[in-house]
Amino acid sequence: MSAIGASDDTIYLDHAATTPVDPDVLAVMLPYFSERYGNPSSIYRLGQEAHAALDQARGSIAEILGCSPAELVFTSGATESDNLALAGVAWQRQSSAGLNDAPPHIVTTAIEHHAVLHAAQLLERRGFAVTFVLPDADGVVSADAVAAAIRPETCLVSVMYANNETGAIQPVAEIGAIARERGIPFHIDAVQAAGFLPLRVDQIGADLLSLTAHKFYGPKGVGLLFVRRGTPIEYQQRGGGQEDGRRGGTENVPGIVGMAAALEKAAWLREAYSAHCAGLRDRLLDGLREAIPDLIVNGPLGPERRLPNNLNVAIPGVQGETALLSLDMEGVAASAGSACTTGNSEPSHVLRAMGLPEELCRASLRFTVGRDNTMNEIDETIDIVSDVAARIRGLAGVA
């Protein structure tokens, strides 16, 4: 079986969408659903046990990120973290602006996850100014293009670390240096990078950084936002004063404990995991190219510019969603892009921003391998994909 705890023989190749919870992580979480169930805000023993678990998890994650534990805010996931980063900084800037000041301005990119894009678009509708920087044909945004978009009233730069659809790694350290030189907070959506790329916030220049546990073999429904001390931000979720008053609501103790355990294991396995995934991904690419000579690779070809587990391809004459349904019937789980837009008939905004024609955007498939995939599964996938492509092309009368 290709996935931890999988209930069937599905070849799971959609790890950018989510990963199964690692058994070691689940084992660490289970006591906090049962005998250690206390509310961490309570003063009696059960509550203080839960509070101590939060402190330990916070310290463990802070060590990996190279930050202070006090700079971490636990959230429900990356969507909340991204929304908080954009809206929190923008609203704080607006509240301190003079009557005649230009509207606060945000610089982001056209290839961001919708958690950032839609938050930026909402702020734009509420009177903020936003610039969406375009990538090059490989899906990489240049630091020079980001620098050129900055204005005197720019209050935030937000650029993802690695793209969820193409795996393209962005020059965040270079962009962060530009933002720091100009005194502008820099937010990094690092969701896809965890487990593959360095996350130390000083090294990559982050003032704010978003993560979610279910992308690195942790549980769903829990994430974090790193907020560098002194970063101007207006916190939004009001309640009982949890997270030092930065996010109201009882903390998800089992989830947070699980996230810390998953991130520790991901950091420990990073080099071996990257090498394992790169070998599988490269074999898949070589096999598909041999079977489908007109296959097109979307995104950077150089291994140093792309996440090692990601392969995004277009098969001319084959509709991506039609192919996905056929692949599922044959026992292969893949994606046409972001899992958050499944069911949306619009082609990928990322591929469009890269300049791909619409027919190729609609003909694209994303395969993302993981820890438990094997070479035998990859070889089986090559045969299945090539057969599905030939069948669909034959029905459509495409040679």
Phi/psi class of residue 325: alpha, beta or left (left: φ > 0; alpha: ψ in -120 to 50)?
A: alpha
Give the active site residue among 67, 155, 277, 340: 340
Q: What is the DSSP letter of 234?
A: -
- List of residues 6+ apart from 302 with CB closer than 8 A: none
Contact assessment for residue 168 and residue 135, using Cβ atoms and an 8 Å cutoff: yes
Contact assessment for residue 17 and residue 334, using Cβ atoms and an 8 Å cutoff: no
Contacts by residues 118-122 (CB-CB < 8 Å, ≥ 24 positions apart) = 119/82, 119/83, 119/86, 119/87, 120/86, 120/158, 122/87
Phi/psi class of residue 69: alpha, beta or left (left: φ > 0; alpha: ψ in -120 to 50)?
A: alpha
Cα(335)–Cα(50) distance, integer angstroms: 38
Contact assessment for residue 67 and residue 60, using Cβ atoms and an 8 Å cutoff: no
Cα(194)–Cα(192) distance, integer angstroms: 6
Q: Which of 41, 64, 74, 53 is nearest to 235 (CA)?
A: 74
Contact assessment for residue 336 and residue 382, using Cβ atoms and an 8 Å cutoff: no
Residue 340 annotated as catalytic: yes
Annotate 381-391 with b (16+ C-beta within 10 A) or e (fewer).
Answer: bbebbbebbee
* DSSP string covering 358-379: HHHHTTEEEEE--TT--HHHHH
Catalytic residues: 340
